[in-house]
Structure 1
Amino acid sequence: MTLRQTYLKNLQQRLDVQAVLVLNDSDMLVPFREGIFYFVVVNEPQADGKIRRMLFQEQVIIEQQISTWQLEKGAICGLDERLAEMLRRAEIVWDKDHYMKQMKLRLASLSSSLQKKHICREYSQILRFFHETKEFLQQGMMLDAHHSAIQTIHYLARLIVYEAGDHPQPALWTQVKQIDPSIYKLYEELSFNAEALEKRIELLVLAIEFWIASRTKESVRYLVELMETKSGPWRLEELMNHPMIQEAEIEIPLVVDKMLQRLLIQEVVCKEGENGDRETGFILMR
């Protein structure tokens, strides 16, 4: 009996094990360069993230456990991207009731609500790094501006992938080249153009500025749909602390500012203080 057969037989005898997957040792996502990397799917929530390094018949085995509970939650709310990609690439070597085969299909699909959430998050990151790029550029800090410009177009690339109904992959730019060659060309120009660095960043800023202005409404649908659940105004703190926003990791102040500029929302007075101060909130424009 081979090492794999013996190892699998031991796992199959455990009542909590639902499936076993193995990641090819040549895969770039393998977290350890030595040994065979296995995912063990179990029916115990407390097992999430548990990882063991073992010697089995003189062979190093790395075993990472993941619960069916985490997978079910991930199919609805989204799974950690690196973990999701590792599971996508991993080969199923044992699967009770075809559970993991079906789960792989669910994790690969992108529901409309999940797509909107990811797009809004990436859009907020584009705004964050775009503002940094412009600030550094104005202050003459070219290397810092270049770093922020790279981050800006990185999140733009991720957004483009989500818009296409797919998940970003480790080889992101190979993926984007197939989906939107114009965005790939922007990255290429920033990286390899013979122009001076300052000029390359300035050209990217112009392109991104135009893109942001034309795509705000489509990119903030997740936030708009949340705001539609309430008839009155939303205070900034209320939006920032909403569980849906915190879970999505959206940079709310930046998105709100852009929505105000694009006349998608309106600022109104929510409460007047005794000292003449007035707290404001935001309502959707109809």
Structure 2
Amino acid sequence: MAMKREESQQAYLKKLQQRPDVQAVLVLPVSDLLVPFRDGAFYLVVVNQPQTEGKIRRLHLQGRVVMEQQISTWQLEKGAVCGLDERLAAMLGRAEVLWDKDGYMKQMKLRLNRLPSAIQKKLICREYSQLLRFFHETKEFLQQGLILDAYHSLIQSLHSWARLIVYEAGEHPQAALWSQVKQMDSSVFKLYEELSVNGEALEKRIELLVLAIEFWITSKIKESVTFLMEVMETKTGPWRLEELMNHPAIVDAKIEVPLLIDKMIQRLLIQEVVFTEGANGDKEIGLILLR
């Protein structure tokens, strides 16, 4: 059986190597958590055609069904500069390179493993803002006595916190996120463990974690919003909220800007100023970064 699998893989590789657009071929472990297919091999084929990006096929290969996902070199090049989709980054990190034309994929994997500083700051800012959002939801649900809803939002908060820790370490979150975080910050892992397995009443567990998260949010705000502060530094005058949210570096970043602004005002990182705007004399609030 193993010999037949090896023969079918070699035949498949030979066919791909004859295509001028194929740059590399990788395969994921069958037992990998990221593989949405359990009955056969899952191949990643790197091609020089942008229009094939994300194309997935089920193939019948000498009596076996396999999956093939195509990735464009353009997508990888863009990912090395701007950040790659997390799931795809995790898949590439785990995949074995079966064939690599001109050593392209070897170099690309090295580049993708290094999280550029600008992207790292943006991702940290995004996760911090998501943590803030779910944390506020947790407190609101807790005050309303909606314990299960508070629990759900708290789990979301912890996941954002965990991802932030991974990004701070310059890595990409893995499928087994908490196993990854356990090696990086055992204190946060223990908080998650306490929420999950502690025998105390659920409401009491939530209240204890709310206190821990609130302290961390307050103490880490300046480092976590560096990305947003650097964007604001590109302009000398006040920012309108809408203008800031529509900045090219922010608009698609999934950052909860209004929540961050409120927190930054509270922590005296931003100052509000009033200026007259428009023909009708509306007094709009602008935002100035305090240096």
1:233–1:270 CA contact under 8 A, matched in 2: no
In the TM superposition, what is the alpha-carbon distance from 1:152 to its structure 2 partner? 0.6
Aligned letter for 2:222? K
Q: Does 1:50 align with 2:60?
A: no
Spell out the pairing of 1:193-232 with structure 2 (5 A cutoff).
193-232=198-237
Counterpart Cα distance in 1 of 2:17 and 2:81: 28
Paired residues of 2:89 and 2:172 also in contact (CA < 8 A):
no
SS of residue in 2 equivalent to 1:60: strand
CA distance in structure 1 between the aligned counterparts of 2:219 and 2:171, rounded to whole angstroms:
22
Find 1:101's aligned residue among 77, 86, 106: 106
SS in 2 for 1:64: strand
How far apart are the structure 2 equivalents of 1:229 and 1:272? 21
Are positions 1:32 and 2:24 aligned together?
Answer: no
In 1, the alpha carbon distance for the partners of 2:207 and 2:96 equals: 46
Shift of the alpha carbon at 1:74?
A: 0.6
Q: Which amino acid is the alignment partner of residue 198 of structure 1? A: E
Aligned structure 1 segments of 4 or more residues deviating by more than 2 angstroms:
270-277
Q: Which of 23, 26, 33 lines up with 2:28 in the alignment?
A: 23
TM superposition shift of 1:247: 2.5
The separation in 2 between residues aligned to 1:255 and 1:63, in whole angstroms, is: 41
**Identical-pair percentage:** 73
Deviation (angstroms), 1:34: 2.1
Q: Secondary structure at the match of 1:242?
A: coil
Tell me the SS of whatever aligns to 2:235: coil
Partner residue in 1 for 2:151:
146
Name stretches of at least 5 consecutive residues in structure 1 with no aligned partner.
none
SS at match of 2:156: helix
Given that 1:74 and 1:107 are in contact with CA atoms closer than 8 Å, whether structure 2 keeps it comes out as yes
Residue ranges of structure 2 left out of the alignment (5+ in a row)? 1-5
SS of the residue corresponding to residue 249 of structure 2 reads: helix
Distance in 1, matches of 2:226 and 2:260, equals 11
| Residue matched to 2:178 | 173
- Conserved? CA contact 2:158–2:192, under 8 Å: yes
Deviates further, 265-274 or 153-162: 265-274
Cα RMSD, aligned residues only:
1.3
Question: Deviations 1:67-106 (Å, cap 9, x if unpaired)?
Answer: 0000001111111111111111111000001000111111
- Aligned residue identity for 1:169: Q
Whether 1:88 aligns to 2:93 is yes
1:283 aligns with 2:268: no
- In the alignment, which residue of structure 1 is the partner of 2:276? 271
TM-score (ref. length: structure 2): 0.95
Partners of 2:10 and 2:186 in 1: CA distance: 46
TM-score by structure 1 length?
0.97
Q: Does 1:189 align with 2:194?
A: yes
Q: Does 1:129 find its partner at 2:161?
A: no
The one-letter amino acid paired with 1:230 is K
Number of residue pairs the alignment of both structures matches: 286
In 2, the alpha carbon distance for the partners of 1:271 and 1:71 equals: 46
Shift of 1:35: 2.3
Contact 2:274-2:285 within 8 A present in 1 as well: yes
